[in-house]
Amino acid sequence: MVQEETVLLTGATGNVGGVILEHLFQTTNYNVNIVLRNAPKQIPLFRARYASEASTGRLTFTSIPDMTTPGAFDAAAAYASAIIHCATPVGSDTDWVKDMIEPTWTIDHSILTAAQKSLTIKRVIICGTLLQTLGPYNLFDPATTITDTSYNSTTFEEAKAGPWRNAYMFSKTNAERKTWAWYEDQGGQEGTGFDIVMLLPPMITGRSPQVGFQPGPGPGGIGRVYHALFESKTAEDMDAMFPIFLDTDDVARAHVLALEREKVPGNQRYLLASPEMVDLRSVVARMRKEYAEVRHRLPDVGIDEEGSKGRKAKLVKVDTSKSEVVFGRDWESAYNSIKETVLDVVRWEQETESARVE
């Protein structure tokens, strides 16, 4: 791999993007240019975390305060060989159309047009979600099997009406459909000069090494684990966890591997999911036994007798055979993944308290 090749990375301040950044530095020779919305505040954090990479020029920064601005990515894409696009609007409770649905496609479209203008980009990797294949009506339908040809059926009207989940599923699915339509209209790889890899992971859990990490509730897997275990502490919320998951390091490895065009065929969708289902109560019960230092922080709600196997029998089937040929299936376990989420929260609390006392 040539040292001068550069990956343009969006979403580096988030969990998945932050872990991808780590993997890029640890396992490849790529230079990485990260897109930042609040560069004056964020650049010092990245320079402190990645001092060697920043000093040698392996890590560079592009300030884009508003990623919906036309042409926002053009300059940064001009000298990149690939784009890994992880940033996505999560919206607000006031206007899901204006705050999430419209900007999701606007940003993706800007990424695509910037790649088309570039003379060097050969691949665009987009971090989507398994929800682009799976609607709210078939999650608990074991007679249904979703594949890489499946699409979420949530309508625009359902997205506008909410709740947040509907708007998010629609925004991501809508943006993907428009991505493939745009790509075809532009003449595909011949007309644009690049191919597309669409990675579709499920709920993501695991460690949180991103700069500026601060635990709290949120729509993603780590945020939902935090809410269930550290806020509500109820069996109801623990059992309500989205059952299909993948560890954040596994998600990152897939994105980095996708840079290798000879190993990962382009213009494809890949469903990424562990065959194991999340049983949060069992994870917590085991952690309470094995980690005395966090026992007092975790709820004692007992074991769900049904367990992950019983829950899996009631769920939609996910056919990941296509992605397993390319990415394998040696995924991290739910216990080890969620354990890292919990330990990061407790570690952050301890460090924050120590800093306050000092």
Instruction: Per residue of the chain (358 residues), give pLDDT as tens.
Output: 344 799 999 999 999 999 999 999 999 999 999 999 999 999 999 999 999 999 999 999 999 999 999 999 999 999 999 999 999 998 777 789 999 999 999 999 999 999 999 999 999 999 999 999 987 677 888 899 999 999 999 999 999 988 899 999 999 999 999 999 999 999 999 999 999 999 999 999 999 999 999 999 998 999 999 999 999 999 999 998 999 999 999 999 999 999 999 999 999 999 999 999 999 999 999 999 999 989 999 999 887 666 666 777 788 999 999 999 999 999 999 999 999 999 999 999 988 887 777 6
Six token digits for residue 187: 């003449």
pLDDT at residue 355 in the model: 75
Q: Within 10 A of 47 (CB to CB), how many other CB atoms are there? A: 15
- Tokens in use for 46? 């990245």
Q: Strands, E, within the chain: which ranges? A: 6-10, 31-36, 59-63, 82-85, 123-127, 145-146, 195-200, 203-205, 245-247, 268-271, 317-318
Q: Residue 86 has what pLDDT?
A: 97
For residue 3, the model assigns a pLDDT of: 46
Whole-angstrom Cα distance, residue 24 to residue 30?
A: 7
Query: What is the pLDDT at residue 2?
Result: 43
- pLDDT recorded at residue 1: 39
Q: What is the pTM of this model?
A: 0.95
- Confidence at residue 305, expressed as pLDDT on a 0 to 100 scale: 67
Length of the chain: 358
Q: Is 152 helix (H, G, I), strand (E, B) or coil?
A: coil
Q: Would you state the pLDDT for residue 141?
A: 87
Give the Cα separation of 20 and 251 in Å (integer).
8
**Domains defined along the chain, listed by start:** 6-202+242-277+315-327 (3.40.50.720)
10 Å CB burial of residue 74 (0-12, 13-18, 19+) is middle
Please state, in angstroms and rounded to a whole number, the distance separating the CA atoms of residues 56 and 195: 30
**pLDDT at residue number 271:** 98
